[in-house]
Chains A and B, each alone.
Chain A
Amino acid sequence: MFSSSQLDATSAFAGGGFSFTQQTQPTDSTPSPAKSRETQGLVPVTVKQISEASQSGDEKSNFVINGVDVTNVTVVGMVFEKVGRNTDVAFILDDGTGRMKCRRWMNENFDTIEMEEILEGMYVRVNGHLKSFQGAKQLVAFSVRPVTNFDEVTFHFIDCIHNHLQTKSQGEGLTPTQPQLVDTSLSTPMRNGLNGSQTAPSSQLSGQFSIDGLKSCDQLVLDYLQQPSSIGQEKGIHRDELSRQLKFPVEKIMESIRSLEEEGLIYSTIDEFHYKSTASG
């Protein structure tokens, strides 16, 4: 009754006509700018995000999270109420943000062997695709792996946050540059300051000013002072203007100014509040 291909099994479950790509590539959390948003790998999400996801059309259409079509997801949580049958194993996944039903079809020996290892209350990483069945959201898993190093739990939540921020910045039409390590102490003021309101200056600076939300304050201050308009001003730029334009508190601006000055990248002009870039632009 069930063929060896997982695709057929799940379409039987959904009542036919469900077509989706079986992607088993690992989570790609650093996409290059050229990659289209449709060709995603596994998207890291929390159960809460899934529960809030909408569907773009009817039951057979894709789920939408953060404005992007999402099919394959990866979730980390605890297994509860595991029920094993000949054809499939069903369980509830609780990741601390919510609980959702999961199902794993027993198509090959590998599926059975993998699921036998999974015990009640165990932390697992589940990779699968999102499905809607009779109004309820379900995760059809094609991979369930026990978590052995619990930093993976921390990592998964950071991954969800990271992915969320990336999708948001992509959605606002800003080109992300290659993401660097997220410095959580800096990310709060930067995100508030740069989301959408920054008008990109002339094209010669598009490289420097492309907003990825992860640039350090130092770099932003330097970029601003290296604009032709800033260089054109003989007395330099007042630090209050930097604070206003870059939306950073003055203390943060002063910190950046101090380190840039130490590096010899900027210098003070008429008083200790005005600064200019040492580069002649």
Chain B
Amino acid sequence: MHVGKKVRAVVHVTQSDGEITTGKSTDEHQLIVKGLPHVSLMSYVEVIGIAESDQSIRAETWTNFGNTFDAQSYNQVCQLANGEFKGLFL
């Protein structure tokens, strides 16, 4: 949907080997992130980069959100920001 555009997502890391990091997005989809250094499993990482496909992002900036991030609330904020309250965010 946003292929080729700059996107931002928070990913719950499930696998991290070298160039490729695999994780679960806050809306339960599998995402592949390229270009991240090694990150500890089960941590949340916010990735900002270009969407190469529906399921992968090439990271440009990333921030470690730690282990105790509330993914559910964040997911709801994403839905509100893209839907009802789009005017405040996009």
Contact = CB atoms under 8 A, between A and B. Distances in A.
B89 A184 contact: no
Interface residues of A, number: 20
Contact of B88 (A97, A121, A184, A188): A97
Interface string B43-70: 0101010000000000001010110111
A164 interface: yes
A157 interface: yes
A151 B80 contact: no
B63 A161 contact: no
Given A48-B90, A150-B69, A161-B85, A184 B8 contact: no
Contacts of A49: 88
Contacts of B88: 46, 48-49, 97, 160-161, 164
Interface string B28-40: 0000000000000
B73 A154 contact: yes
Task: Label chain A's interface by main secondary structure.
Answer: helix
A157 B66 contact: no
Interface of B: 8, 44, 46, 48, 61, 63, 65-66, 68-70, 73-74, 76-77, 80-81, 84-85, 87-90
B65 A150 contact: yes
Contacts of A97: 88-90
Nearest to A95: B89
Nearest to B77: A157
B8 A96 contact: yes
Contact of B81 (A123, A149, A157): A157
A97 B68 CA distance: 25
B90 A188 contact: no
A7 interface: no
A205 interface: no
A250 interface: no
B84 A48 contact: no
Given A97-B88, A97-B89, A123-B63, A184 B70 contact: no
A161 B8 CA distance: 19
Given A96-B8, A97-B90, A121-B61, A154 B70 contact: yes
A158 interface: yes
Given A48-B90, A96-B8, A121-B61, A164 B66 contact: no
Nearest to B73: A154
Nearest to B74: A154
Nearest to A156: B77
Interface in A145-159: 149-151, 153-154, 157-158
